[in-house]
Amino acid sequence: MTERLKAFADSRDFERTKQRALDILKEAKEQSESGKIGFVSGVIKSEGSVYLVRNIKNLARYTRFIKRNVDYPVFCALDFIESEAAFRLLPKPPAGREELSQRFWREILESGYITDVFMTPQWELSKGATNEYQTAKRLNLRIHQVVRKSSN
């Protein structure tokens, strides 16, 4: 599923991108024995460009961990881009772009294909992740709080 999501990540057309994502999620859910699909939410750009690389690595690491520990498809926003470098090149959202991004993920969650949402540590720092949490809660999706492992 991740590879198929990245295949159209460069699309600038909101509705087309959303529809292609929904088509992939529909197929993934139909193929999932449990009928579940998980979405991993967390901080990416909210802390500023200084922490962007760290946040991308953390979100990728948490997503890999979750994928290893559940028996259904799981994805995160990073699955929509080709590389960390591509994410670094994204400019600060111009007026309206942040809202468009939040609307995109809200509509993905509202599609009925996502059953579980995994909130990674410090998600509260992100407007987007907060929006995703509120949407998941409103839709009664199963919300998992991912706990940071101690380095001891």
**Within a domain: residue 48?**
yes
* pLDDT for res 84: 45
pTM: 0.83
The CATH code of the domain that includes 16 is 3.40.50
Examine residue 151 and state whether it is found in any structural domain, yes or no.
no
Residue 39 falls within a domain, yes or no?
yes
Enclosing domain of residue 13: 2-145
Tokens standing for residue 56: 């991308």
Model confidence over 17-34: pLDDT tens digits? 788 888 889 998 999 899
Residues 90-103: tens digit of each pLDDT: 444 455 667 777 88
Dist. CA 135–CA 114, nearest whole Å: 11
CB atoms within 10 A of CB 32: 17
> What confidence score (pLDDT) does residue 107 get?
93
Residue 152 lies inside a defined structural domain of this protein: no
> Residue 113: pLDDT band by 50, 70, 90 thresholds?
very high
For the chain, the domain total comes to 1
What pLDDT is recorded for position 48?
72
Confirm whether 136 is domain-assigned.
yes
Considering the domain boundaries, does residue 77 fall inside one?
A: yes
DSSP-assigned letter for residue 26: H
Confidence band for 143, pLDDT divided at 50, 70 and 90? very high
Task: Report pLDDT digits (tens) over 34-57.
Answer: 999 999 999 988 777 788 889 989
Contacts with 148 (C-beta within 8 Å, 6 or more apart), sequence order: 121
Cα angle for residues 77, 82, 88 (degrees, 5° grid):
75
